[in-house]
Every structure is written in C-alpha cells, then in structure tokens.
Structure 1
C-alpha cells in the first residue's frame, strides 16, 4: 500500500470525524485550533445534523423561535464554531439517530445514521478522504467515547473508510485511492486527566468536591491508552469559545467550564489521543499527531518524568515501528 507523505513545503492535512454539531468543540478542539493556526489544513466532518438533539441550555428552553427549527439553529451554531476554530467543515448528510431510552430500548428511527449498513454509510466519508487526502484522521473509539448510537457508528465508518479509501478496487467512482498515514482515537473525557486536576487542586488547598465525587464512578481498569498528547494550553479559550457557540447544546455555567484555565494549564493542558493504526513507523509516546510525517519536527513541550510519559511506558507501549499503534 502506497502511503504518500507530504513533499517539502506541502501543507499537512487532517480530518476529524464527528457525530453531531458541537462534538468538534468538546473533543479535540484545542488541537484542531492549534493545527489550523500552524498552517495545517484541518477539516471537521460532521456526520449528522443533530436533528434529534435537545435544547440543553436551560436559558434557551422554551424559546419558540429556536424550537421551531432547531436543525437550522444548529447549522448556524456550527458555522460560528467553525469560524472560531479556524477549520474547514463538511456535513456528511446523515440524519441524527437520537439517543433512545426505555426498557426495552425502542428501535432507532428508520433511515437514521446508525441504522445504515456500515459500508454504505462509509461511502461519503471515503469520497471525502480521497478528495481531501488527509495524512491523519481522528475519530472515536469502539465505544464511541460514550455509547450514543451515532458515536459508535462514527467509529465503524471511520475504520471502514480508513481501509476502503486506500483500496483501488473499491468504488473507483469515488475518486483516486488515498492511504491515510495515521488514525487516532480522541480520548476526550478520561480518568487520568480528571484525577490529575483533582490532585492538583488538593495540593493547592482547593479540593473540588464535585470532581472528587465524579472520580468515584471511574474504574482504573478501563483507563484509555494515551499514546499522544498535544499541548493546547494556549488554546483553552478558543476551545471554550467554540463550545459556547453551540448555545443550544451547553449550559454556559455547566461542568464543561468549571475547571479554570490556569488549573488545566498546570495540571494537564493537553488534548489526548490513542494512536490506533499507523501505516508508517512510529515511536511512542508522541506530542504531535504528525510525528513521523513532518519534514521538520517542531519544538514541542516534552512530558515530565513521573507524568504521562511514565504512564505510557508502564502500559508497555514505549515505542513501536511495526505499523500498529498498539
């Protein structure tokens, strides 16, 4: 399989695949904003329009104008968030599946994103990959980050498109084959980060009871593997501004915004990823999604001994060059 790396002077390219408008601003937003400002061609691909979402901002509930056409409002919110992040954006065009509840769970709406066979649903993503020719793709893990059917479907079609886009025998009408060099899972909400922040606050004499209670619900045995941590300390405000642009979807006083930037900067300060598949040789851990792809590696903050570098080493993933990320 021919992996084409960028020529000298050619821009780096990445696609970030997400389920709904607002996901791009709550998962990996700091790193996409950083890369866009560094000259990387970053494209966010949103699979659905969020048509079956709710109004989660208590200050906007009951707003008749918003409720009359929530999908249109969410498209406007997405456009504002895109501008703030500085990325390109494409809709994949599928219909939100909603988040079913009840016992037993009701069937998903017919024709919604999560009900479509994976290879069929992957076709527009294959077309986008072949046209955009990214060097890196980011997506969700096998559990979707959380078990929303659309998030799980994002994982499935991303994995399928990673393979199918490179297969010259698959759907030649969708464009020339393109082999993405590296595929990452976004590890946005994980115990390690929250534990580090809670520990820092305790050491500063400012324990956060809400955070401590939340940590009781995590199981260390299910910690995600963090192979790659991108320094986003200078982009925390951009991340928050992009998320607030999705005004119907977030409470501006809610838990997303309760960790002060100076606390996050001192205690953690990175967007975290798991390198799941690499078609080039890699050395872990990384501080850059484009490690091994760039012609000139930028100077980036290095992890401190006793911190996340040791965490990765303890998992037995200090380095790899056999083409697999784990």
Structure 2
C-alpha cells in the first residue's frame, strides 16, 4: 500500500444519516486528504417531512416516492459538498418506519425485505472498486429500530467480510477482491455524551433537549456499547451543521440538532465516537484515529 492515499467508506441507510452520524469525522478526514466515500443505501423516499418550514425546491413536488427521491438527491448533493466528500447511491427503496400495534407489513420490494445477498451485492462490488482501508456503519441494532438501519448494518458487515473473497459475489469483469482493514460502528448518541451535554446545559441555565431522552433510555435499560475510538472534530462542527441544514425536508434549523449552543458542545464534547468492531491489523485501544495502525501499513 506504500504511497496510496488513505480511503474511508461510510455506509448509511438514508440521505441525512451521513450528516447526523459521524459527519464531522468525515469532513475532518476529507480535509486532511483522505478519500472519503459516503454510501447511501436507499433514496429516503418514505421519510416524512420533519421540518415545518420546508418548501420543496422550485419545480419539484414531494407527494410521490419519485418526487421525494428527486428532492432527497438534491439535498444529499448539497450535504456531500458541505462535508467535502464523495457520495454513492446503492439504489434501494426506503422501507419506511412501521408504526402501530401490531406493526404493519413492510412495503413490497423495499430494502429491508430483499434477500441479504441481493442487497449486499452492489456494496461488495463498490468496496472492491473503491478499496477502502476503513469502513464505518451502524451496530447490529441499527442504532435505533428502523428496518433500513438494521439492514444497513447487515449489508455493510457482509460486504466487509465478503469483498476480499474472490469466490463470492463473482461478477464478470468486476473489480478484484479487496479486504478493508478495519470496521467501525457509529456511536452518535451515547449516554455519556447525553448526560455531559445535559448537565452543561442545565448548569448554564438553559433548557436541555436530552432530559426526557435520558430518562426514557434509563427506564428501558438500553445497554451501552463501548466506544473505543474518539475523534477530535470541534473544528468541523460548522461543516456538519451545513450538511444537516442541507437536508431541509428532514432537519429543522431551529430544532433538536441545533438545541445545544456550539460553544457548550465544543467545551463539553468536542469528539465523535466509534466502536472498533473488527480489525485485520494489530491495534491498541483506545484510539484517536480511525486509521490507527493503518498509516504505518500504507
């Protein structure tokens, strides 16, 4: 690998996930010259409008799956530009978030219902083409129980293991096998982070957006996964925020993601956290770099 640029692939379920999970990290590495590719599994076609002030761009509607897909693509392009990263669509259809008791069936043909090998094949080929040294995605729970997030984990996990095996996912004229060296899970909203920011907000006499969330997660006894890797990214919060705002149909600029003053965030929690799930090289945790151990190999 001598002389090769470092390459990072971040695999996400929907457009906007890349801006709310590890965005400052991807912006930092892109600024440092790392080749960063964000992979978006679905078009986000079934995402609800979560910004009350959202107005579709001129010439666009938002009342059909096709119309939503077109708008989400525009938003994604703006977010990728804000982060300074490349982006690739796998082309699958959003499964939606089922609600009710009992839960309704998922829509026919959606991402979460596809056989694993069918859903994984495009990502396996993309890993072989892009040749990332490091991949990031969600933990087995998906981070929260959206079927696309769970399937995103499954597909990324499968691609990490299968892309280096020339006997699997064979494509005539396809790229040569490639084994990424490290696989990480995003840790966007750990209880340690929520509590630290919550206490800082209350200490400053401000209303915290995390009080009910902390109580709910504590009451449900949700197990905490261990963060192995903390990336200093305070200098890239502005890029992350610009990427969030780019997803105008999903992100309210006066809403949850902007409820914490940035000076408090910088002071209390200037990092983004990841969990090293697997490594094919020798590493020592805790880490402060997703490429720890990789740089000496390259």
TM-score over 0.5 (shorter chain): yes
- Of 31, 51, 61 in structure 2, the residue corresponding to residue 66 of structure 1 is 61
Q: 2:36 matched to 1:42?
A: yes
- 1:296 Cα deviation after fit: 9.5
Q: 2:197 matched to 1:197?
A: yes
Distance 1:171 1:210, change over 3 A: closer
- 1:105 Cα deviation after fit: 1.1
| Cα deviation 1:260-284 (Å, max 9, x = unaligned) | 1111111111111000000000100
- 1:171 Cα deviation after fit: 2.5
* Aligned 8 A contact 1:36 1:86 in 2: yes
Q: Which residue of 2 aligns with 1:177?
A: 177
* Aligned 8 A contact 1:192 1:223 in 2: no
Number of equivalenced pairs:
290
- 1:251 Cα deviation after fit: 1.0
| Cα deviation 1:232-275 (Å, max 9, x = unaligned) | 10011110110100000111110111111111111111111000
How many Å separate the matches in 1 of 2:131 and 2:125? 10
Q: Secondary structure at the match of 1:238?
A: helix
RMSD: 1.9
List gaps (5 residues or longer) in structure 2: none
* Aligned 8 A contact 2:43 2:69 in 1: yes
- The runs of at least 4 aligned residues of structure 1 exceeding 6 Å deviation read 61-64
- 1:119 Cα deviation after fit: 1.6
List gaps (5 residues or longer) in structure 1: 1-5, 298-326
| Cα deviation 1:9-37 (Å, max 9, x = unaligned) | 32100100000111100000000000000
- 1:214 Cα deviation after fit: 2.6
How many Å separate the matches in 2 of 1:205 and 1:45? 39
How many Å separate the matches in 1 of 2:154 and 2:10? 14
Which structure is higher in RCO with an 8 Å CA cutoff and minimum separation 6? 2
User: How does the TM-score come out when normalised to structure 2?
Assistant: 0.92
User: How does the TM-score come out when normalised to structure 1?
Assistant: 0.85
Distance 1:236 1:175, change over 3 A: same
Q: 2:250 matched to 1:255?
A: no
How many Å separate the matches in 1 of 2:55 and 2:154? 33
How many Å separate the matches in 2 of 1:180 and 1:54? 35
- 1:107 Cα deviation after fit: 1.2
Q: Secondary structure at the match of 1:172?
A: coil
* Aligned 8 A contact 2:124 2:169 in 1: no
Q: Which residue of 2 aligns with 1:188?
A: 188
Q: Which residue of 2 aligns with 1:206?
A: 205
